[in-house]
Amino acid sequence: MKIFLDGKFVDERNAKVSVFDHGLLYGDGVFEGIRAYNGRVFKLAEHIDRLFYSAKAILLKLPMSRANFIKATTETCRRNNLRDGYIRLVVTRGAGTLGLNPFKCKAPSVFIIADKIQLYPKEFYERGLDLITVPTVRNLHSALNPAIKSLNYLNNILAKIEAINGGCEEAVMLNSEGFVAECTGDNLFVVKGGQLFTPPLFAGALYGITRQVVMELARNSGLTVSESNLTRYDLFNADECFLTGTGAEVIAAVKIDGRVIGGGHPGSVTKKLISQYRALTQSSGEPIYS
């Protein structure tokens, strides 16, 4: 496997960062998870834009232009003969001192990995996920804004541990006010009375690329889409529930905290959106091989 590392392509075994890198020492950096389908990188420009927004929020000056990030990403796919897979684009603060001061880091480090991914087993897409609400609360906006896709994912990891310990693959995370924020790695939607609802960004949800695509697909299909504060009660009494994310794509949730959602199987709205999303991923994106 070839890894893009600070402007060069190196073998996987030679892809190394310094032990003094603040991305390693302190989780100081940003990243994007991106998908490739059928020889195209899906929503690449949107992912690069979000990378720049996250970097700006933490005062990290990116060492490459948007155009060069796009070029490096597609070239990494080509070097690995990738047509369908997952791309992880990471920018760290770079090597510095053992102190917190980020301004002592000489230069940011960039690496890009292009490989395969399977987040959930195939049968979960057919029957849906069981979810559990966990006690770990989503990060406060005033502490570490969830809109920043940073390398510090300990908040999500703690919630993921609680989900696994509870016998579930994924967890529902609430914010400090008790409203639904998102899952550990995915945005959350519910269908109720023929309408689609999802937590607003200010509730602690990440600005999901897949989330936005699904909202557009739903509106184009004639569904009313609302960004509204949701409680666990709203989840329990939904007609349908599903999650969205770059890795997960679109996947139904059929049970939450022991309560069966709807008929206990992926609903018609969810199935339609899954079909539309998959069709879109196969026909659009930045060409890898031109």
Q: Active-site positions?
A: 149
CA distance 28 to 8: 22
Q: What is the DSSP letter of 46?
A: H
> Cα-Cα-Cα-Cα dihedral of 61, 92, 203, 168, to 10°?
160
Tally of CB atoms within 10 A around 187: 25
> Exposure of 134 by Cβ count < 10 A (0-12 exposed, 13-18 middle, 19+ buried)?
buried
CA distance 3 to 44: 18
Query: Could you tell me the two tokens for 40?
Result: 């195209």
Q: Please report which helix (H) or strand (E) contains residue 217, including its range.
A: helix 209-220
CA distance 263 to 14: 51
- Sign (positive or negative) of CA dihedral 168, 169, 175, 178: negative
- Measured distance between the N- and C-terminal CA atoms of the chain, rounded to whole angstroms: 21
Tally of CB atoms within 10 A around 278: 12
Contact assessment for residue 78 and residue 288, using Cβ atoms and an 8 Å cutoff: yes
Tally of CB atoms within 10 A around 213: 22
Q: Please report which helix (H) or strand (E) contains residue 93, including its range.
A: none
CA distance 91 to 37: 24
